[in-house]
C-alpha cells in the first residue's frame, strides 16, 4: 500500500510504499527467512553458528542510528527490506531500509514498545541486521538456505 503518513507506535511513516503485517503471518514470514539461513538461539540469532559480516557495540555516547548509518554506508545496504519485532503482536513492516532504520532508532529513543530486539532483513539478498537488547548490532548474510 502507498502510505499517506501512517503512524506505527508513535513513528510516522513518510508517504511511500510500505507493507504492514501484524500477527502470526508476520512471524511465519520471519521464520521462513531464517530457516536454513541462520541458527537460532533462545532469543536471537546464534552468531557463533551463523556467518556474520560485521558487528557493532552501541556504547555510551553512540546512538543506534549512527551505528546503523555506518553499517548501511560501509556495506552499501539499500533498497527494500523488512523489519520484524514483537510488541503486543508480531509485526512485520516492509519498505525502504533507511526508513526502517530510522524507525528502530525512534523506538530506541522513545521506548513505547515492550520489544528491545529488532531484525531487519532482505529476502532477496539474505542479509539480516539484528539490533539486540545487549547493545549489539550484527549484520549477517546467507544467500541461500543451508540444508
**Domain limits of the chain?**
2-141
d(CA 12, CA 43): 28
Q: What is the mean pLDDT of residues 93-120?
A: 87
- Residue-averaged pLDDT of the chain: 86
Residues 18, 94: contact at Cβ < 8 Å?
yes
Residue 2 confidence (pLDDT):
53
Residues 121, 84: contact at Cβ < 8 Å?
yes
Strand partners, 22: 91
d(CA 68, CA 64): 6
Residue 132 confidence (pLDDT):
80
Number of residues in the chain: 147
Identify the residue with better confidence: 136 or 24: 24
Amino acid at each position: 500500500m502507498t502510505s499517506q503518513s501512517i503512524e506505527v507506535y508513535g513513528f510516522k511513516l513518510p508517504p511511500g510504499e510500505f507493507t504492514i503485517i501484524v500477527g502470526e503471518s508476520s512471524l511465519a514470514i520471519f521464520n521462513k527467512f531464517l530457516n536454513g539461513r541462520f541458527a537460532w538461539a533462545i532469543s536471537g540469532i546464534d552468531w557463533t553458528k551463523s556467518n556474520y559480516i560485521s558487528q557493532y557495540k552501541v556504547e555510551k555516547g553512540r546512538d543506534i542510528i549512527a551505528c546503523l548509518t555506518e553499517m548501511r554506508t560501509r556495506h552499501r545496504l539499500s533498497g527494500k527490506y523488512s523489519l520484524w519485532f514483537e510488541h503486543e503482536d508480531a509485526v512485520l513492516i516492509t519498505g525502504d531500509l533507511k526508513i526502517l532504520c530510522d524507525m528502530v532508532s525512534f523506538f530506541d529513543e522513545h521506548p513505547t514498545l515492550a520489544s528491545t530486539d529488532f531484525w531487519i532483513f532482505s529476502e532477496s539478498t539474505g542479509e539480516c541486521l539484528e539490533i539486540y537488547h545487549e547493545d549489539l548490532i550484527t549484520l549477517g548474510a546467507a544467500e541461500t538456505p543451508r540444508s
